[in-house]
Amino acid sequence: MNPEKKIYFVTDAHLGMRADVPVAENEKKLVRWLDSIQADCGALYMMGDMIDFWYEYKEAVPKGFVRFFGKLAEFTDCGIPVYWFAGNHDLWLFNYVQQEMGIVVYREAQELELLGKRFYMAHGDALGFAPFSLKLMNGIFHSPFFQAFFKLLHPDLGIGFGLKWSRHSYYKRKTMELGYLGEDKEHLVQFAKKHLAASKLPPDFYIFGHRHILLDLQLSQGSRLVIPGDWIREFSYATFDGSDFLLEHFEE
């Protein structure tokens, strides 16, 4: 990676989720942001749930998102590496974006060295405490049996059901959205603290998605936890140039 360029982090766009705005509005805004960073982007890390529902059949994928996918393909065609951490909403990324766009998909947490700093990165839904209902749902969605069963549905039924569930979940979540809960109650903060205490080589940065909050928390003298917000309300992202790690908004 060119040391004169920046690393960009973005998370939780949930494209296709909202039914109360024109379908392509958030996607177009996200693409405008990608346009704006392309010249100085050395690498792009998407921290999960970029699409609210995704399921790949062998010969069919959900329609839509062509502007977003086209821009990602342009990044990789230009030699800009793109990394996608599968979240709990886009966990059924099988091989389409890898084969068609050259994107690297991560399904587990990764410890990476970037521009001389150590990073621990994950979407974050399965880290730390999780209620039984979430553990059960994750177990079902990750089950090869359930995935094989879902594949038996005609794409019009399977994808149609997924999109309907996505929109239903959006309105349900709107009444349950919570801001920052504090260090003692945020499961990602608790996870990072435990991981940090057990680490022989402590990460300089913990980067997570999932929580839809803007958070930059100093865990110790040398380690920070960052959650870059989302692309639903905050339209926010993070950048790192080897020295400064910043949280920023697009088109405030």
Distance CA 47, CA 45 (A): 6
H/E stretch holding 208 reads strand 205-208
What distance separates the 2 farthest-apart alpha carbons in the chain?
Answer: 54
Distance CA 222, CA 6 (A): 21
Per-residue pLDDT for 175 more than 50? no
Query: Does residue 21 lie in a domain region?
Result: yes
Query: Cβ distance 239 to 248 under 8 Å?
Result: yes
Phi then psi for residue 155, to 5 deg, are -55, -35
Split at pLDDT 50, 70, 90, the class of 144 is: confident
Query: Does residue 236 lie in a domain region?
Result: yes
All residues at 6 or more sequence positions from 213 whose CB lies less than 8 Å from its CB, including other chains: 179, 180, 227, 229
Query: Does residue 180 lie in a domain region?
Result: yes
pLDDT score for 38 = 97
Query: Does residue 34 lie in a domain region?
Result: yes
Of 126-130, 216-220, 232-236, give the lowest mean pLDDT range: 126-130
Of 10-14, 62-66, 122-126, 176-180, give the lowest mean pLDDT range: 176-180
Query: Does residue 228 lie in a domain region?
Result: yes
Distance CA 79, CA 64 (A): 25
Structural domain harbouring 228: 6-249
Query: Cβ distance 51 to 15 under 8 Å?
Result: yes
pLDDT score for 221 = 82
Query: Does residue 1 lie in a domain region?
Result: no
Distance CA 225, CA 220 (A): 10
Query: Does residue 118 lie in a domain region?
Result: yes
User: For the CA atoms of the chain, what is the radius of gyration?
Assistant: 18
Which residue carries 């553990």 as its tokens?
135
How many domains would you assign to the chain?
1
Residue 9: CA atoms inside 13 Å, Cβ hemisphere, count?
Answer: 26
Average pLDDT for 19-47: 88
Query: Do the strands 245-249 and 41-46 form a parallel or antiparallel pair, or are they unpaired?
Result: unpaired
Where residue 190 sits, what CATH number does that domain have?
A: 3.60.21.10
